Chain A
Amino acid sequence: MIGHLTRSERQLTLYMLLAVVITGLAMLVAGKDDSLGVHGALVMVVGIAAIFGVIAEFFEPEPTENRLDSYYDEPSRIGIVFAMAWAAFGLFVGAWVAWQLAYPSLNFEAGWTSFGRLRPVHTTSVIFGFGGNALIATSFYVMQRTSRARIPDQISPLFIVFGYNLFCLLAVSGYMIGVTQSKEYAEPEWYADIWLVIVWVTYFVVYMRTLLHRKEPHIYVANWYYLAFVLIVAVLHIVNNLAVPVSFSSAKSYTIFAGVQDAMTQWWYGHNAVAFFLTAGFLGMMYYFLPKRAGRPLYSYRMSIISFWGITFFYLWAGSHHLHYTALPQWVQTLGMTFSVMLLVPSWTAAANALLTLNGAWHRVRDDATLRFMMVAAVFYGLTTFEGSFLAIRAVNSLSHYTDWTVGHVHAGALGWVAMITFGSIYAAVPWLWKRENMYSPRLVEVHFWLALAGTIVYVLAMWNSGIIQGLMWRTYASDGTLAYSFLDSLVVMHPYYIARAVGGTLFLIGALVGCYNIWMTVRAPRQPMAGPEADYPEPRVPVGSVPQAAE
């Protein structure tokens, strides 16, 4: 893993890890009577394990002189392995909490397995663990190739990947021992947040430095999106997590915002986490891997511009639609709703741009499950953005808010769009990254595709039904002017849909496990000799026979 680093770089890595261990020790000592101490011990253990890992390879032969002539793909490979591991874990927890909602006793009466703790474990594992690692891995891959430049730094990309996963580990382990800020999608406490700021700023610097070294005169669309993702997520994370710790020996902190300002900051963050983490980043993925895999030119450069600026501008206004009919002033709700509706056009322009790119390659969509993953992702992107703008309309929201419809909407986006585009991109990138002819088993990719699609459809249909029924039951008045149903009545009606949802989630989980196996077997397969000498900046090799090499 560090074979490509020189001796002095390996030494520097050791010093950095030593600093991590010392930080962990300081946390352990300061917070010995608090969960902060538990996390200090965890940081120490991780640091010490990493030191052993570096020492084991320390005296390996140094890399050859020409190591800087090829793209720096080791961080991408590590990131993809982490992404799939988090996917397996996060989807398992997701399926578990889905079964808990249908059969509550499946929490086995323990504190750490209760729904309230496992639910953020699920969301953090899939969004930040799976999605974040996939974004980091593919962004390194894409920005180097579309810039025709190697990442100019050696240690920092590894620091980003491992540091980011340490953040995810602190977050997820914290929830289970009761450490949380209680802000949705921003649950980790102050020390984990500070650590993520360090990692994320490094990420931004590495990204900018690579772009500055680029040999292409223009910056490709995918990079616009990745850059928006990296930059805005930094801003969102820092502002929403402004908090004052109770003390430096305590894991607990309190946000500096109060009341409705706190709610507005939180949903400005929350909605733009959807916009810039779960949309912009993955659009970057789509803009590279979809035309690449299809072997087609992008349908329209001009549509890319409209959608990019539309998406980045309008999304930043839309967060208040999460607070319709609350203490938030009505004029803020108006802005959130109208900007959400205007947002639909650039979103659909992006989806249409992707689907029209496939014109001339639809036979490949039929034959190649990897490309089909990306095509279906674009369709779900269109569906979900339409649904999002629709739900943001106040009159619609008065029915849908607080119901399972929201849950269904989120999962149409998360499973149908985010996970599908990621699996498609990973299946495209893995053979290129590990220099294999193809995936170990294209048939298993096909199996994964149908499991993922079936799981998503079952899940989303169940939640649409359940959500709309809930919303209607809660607002139904009898002729005498009193509520017709109690909350319990609506729960009883939900039960079959909750079982269906859990079945859908389980199908999706099985698909991801099939994917893990397939990727593992691809990585383990013997490396095939490259046809011809590797160029200075190797073009990714497209599987022979399935996709023709684009003209140079």
Chain B
Amino acid sequence: MQIERDPVSGYLTTGHEWNGIKELNTPVPRIVWFFIAVTHIWALGYWLLMPAFPLGSTYTKGLLNADDRAAVTESVRQAQAARSGWTDELMSKSYAEIQRDQALMAEVRRSGRALFGDNCVACHGENGQGAPGFPDLRRSSLWGATPEVIAETIRVGINSGHKDSRVSQMPAFGRDQMLQGSQIQEVLAYVLSLSGPAGPRPAEMVEAGKAVFAANCASCHGDDAKGKLDVGAPNLTTGYWRTGGSGASLHGVLWDGLRGQMPSWEGRLSPVDRKILTLYVVDLRERHQ
């Protein structure tokens, strides 16, 4: 136990030593006490002003009577009020009126982009171009392409849990043995011939496929294969295929069936936001054509 003076700092040691380590008895610098005081006084002030300490089943409310829930409710109300000018207009006008109103459509394109980006692009792609299994919104029209139809699809979804959900299902013709393997090849040849040259497939195969189609497919896709809007069965003559369009992918659809799903947005997005999205999608289609 020997107290020494450190030649560098000029302070005394405490006299302790551990494995060669000594300590100086340097006083705590004034600035440390100063900032301890500052932070503690600030904390005391904050506790006085804001909710801070529990009191059994309640808590100290603070002199400012601040409340997070009230604050957020108020700012949501203010935000809605700030938007209400153009959103009220949007809700009161018909689709056709809005589409003629360039100022409103500019708002739809601007705010729709963020809405579409946060809610739709995961499946339908950044520009609505779709992905294998998810329709290209610029070209596909399962239940029709009018604003009213699109708005309804967004509201209830497809094969979703919504009580009014659109329902659509293509049976698994191969897996469930409704068709034989050769019949599937034939109907595939026929369907492909509707939207383009049949290619290497022989004419008699296409002919045979036509009969298979009439017996098994026409009830949903129509005698002319142009689809039926009431059951969401797509037009097979356009050359657009939502599963990609290769022979293998179409064969897979015939074999395993198809049951696409889209969530219902009624519980998630407000009527204004759904109307914006509807117009945004309609606009995407028009600009694409």
Of B9, B21, B115, B118, the residue contacting A360 (CB under 8 A) is B9
Contacts A480-B83, A483-B114; is A298 near B121 (CB within 8 Å)?
Answer: no
Q: Are B82 and A481 neighbours in the complex by a CB distance under 8 Å?
A: yes
- Which chain A positions have C-beta within 8 A of B24? 297-301
| Residue contact B52 to A540, C-beta cutoff 8 Å | no
Q: Are A304 and B23 in contact (CB under 8 A)?
A: yes
Q: Which candidate, A52-60, A196-204, A255-263, A288-296, is the interface stretch facing chain B? A: A288-296
Contact A300 B20 (CB under 8 A): no
Chain A residue numbers with a CB within 8 Å of B25 are: 300-302
Q: Which residue of B lies closest to A357 (CB)?
A: B24
CA distance A487 to B82 in the complex (A): 23
Residue from A146, A218, A477 within 8 A of B19 (CB atoms): A146
Cross-chain contact A478 with B27 (CB below 8 angstroms): no
In the complex, the answer to whether A298 meets B53 with C-beta atoms within 8 Å is no
Q: Which of B60-86 contact A (CB under 8 A)?
A: 60, 66-68, 79-80, 82-83, 86
Contact residue range for chain A?
35 or more
Partner of B43, one of A220, A338, A540: A338
- C-alpha gap A463/B79 in the complex (Å): 31
B126 CB-CB contact with A under 8 Å: yes
Within 244-263 of B, Cβ neighbours of A (below 8 Å) are at none
Kindly state whether residue A552 has any CB partner on chain B within 8 Å: yes
Write out the residue numbers on chain A whose beta carbons fall within 8 Å of the beta carbon of B54.
331
> Once bound together, how far apart are the Cα atoms of A338 and B48, in whole Å?
12
Residue of chain A at shortest CB distance from B272? A482
Q: Which of A300, A325, A341, A552 lies at the interface centre, i.e. has the most chain B CB atoms within 10 A of its CB?
A: A300
Of A484, A486, A552, the contact of B20 (CB 8 Å cutoff): A552
Contact assessment for B19 and A345 in the assembled complex, using a CB-CB cutoff below 8 Å:
no
Q: What residues on B are CB-neighbors of A330 within 8 Å? A: 50-51, 66-68
Is there a chain A Cβ closer than 8 Å to B185's Cβ? no
How distant is the Cα of A168 from the Cα of B96 in the complex, in angstroms?
A: 64
Q: Is A235 an interface residue (CB 8 A)?
A: no
Q: Hey, what's the 0/1 contact readout for B7-26 against A, CB within 8 Å counting as 1? A: 01101011010111111111
Of the candidates A335, A345, A477, the one whose C-beta lies within 8 Å of that of B36 is A345
Enumerate chain A residues within 8 angstroms of B99, measured Cβ to Cβ. Answer: none
What chain A residues lie within 8 Å of B23 (beta carbons)?
221, 297-298, 300-301, 304
Q: Evaluate contact between B32 and A306: CB separation under 8 angstroms.
A: yes
User: Which A344-376 residues sit within 8 Å CB-CB of chain B?
Assistant: 344-345, 348-349, 352, 356, 359-360
Name the B residues within 8 Å of A341 (CB-CB): 39, 42-43
A321 close to B (CB within 8 Å): no
B183 interface hit (Cβ, 8 Å) = no
B13: chain A residues within 8 A (beta carbon): 297
B113 near A486 with CB under 8 A, answer: yes
A539 touches B20 (CB 8 A): yes
Q: Say yes or no: A486-B118 contact (C-beta < 8 A), given A220-B21, A341-B43, A344-B39.
A: yes
A299 near B110 with CB under 8 A, answer no
Report whether A359 and B16 are in contact in the complex, using a CB–CB cutoff of 8 Å: no
Asked if residues A334 and B46 are in contact (CB atoms below 8 Å), the reply is yes
Q: Flag whether B28 is at the interface (Cβ < 8 A).
A: yes
Contact with B along A302-324 (1 / 0, CB 8 A): 11101000000000000000000
Least CB distance, A439 to chain B, in whole angstroms: 20
Cβ-based interface call for B223 (8 A) = no
**Pick the contact of B39 from A342, A477, A485 — CB < 8 Å?**
A342
Instruction: Tell me whether B26 and A302 are in contact (CB under 8 A).
Output: yes
Among the listed A303, A304, A329, which residue makes an inter-chain contact with B51, where contact means beta carbons less than 8 Å apart? A329
* Chain A: minimal CB distance from B280 (Å): 12
Does chain A have a CB within 8 A of B111? yes
Q: How far is the CA of A216 from the CA of B17 in the complex (A)?
A: 8
Per-residue interface assignment for chain A, residues 218 to 231, with 1 indicating a CB less than 8 Å from any chain B CB and 0 otherwise:
10110000000000
Q: Is B116 an interface residue (CB 8 A)?
A: yes
Chain A residues whose CB sits within 8 angstroms of the CB of B35 once the complex forms: 344-345, 348
- With both beta carbons as reference points, the residue of chain B lying nearest to A343 in the complex is identified as B39
Contact of B114 among A220, A360, A485 (CB under 8 A): A485
Q: Select A481's contact among B9, B20, B66, B83, beta carbons within 8 Å.
A: B83
Between-chain CB contacts (< 8 Å), 5 pairs: A288-B21, A335-B52, A335-B53, A478-B110, A485-B114
Binding site for A on B (CB under 8 A): 6, 8-9, 11, 13-14, 16, 18-29, 32, 35-36, 39-40, 42-43, 46-47, 50-54, 59-60, 66-68, 79-80, 82-83, 86, 107, 110-111, 113-118, 121, 126
Known contacts A303-B26, A331-B60, A335-B52; 10 further A-B pairs (Cβ under 8 A): A146-B18, A221-B23, A297-B6, A330-B51, A330-B68, A335-B53, A359-B9, A486-B114, A487-B117, A488-B117
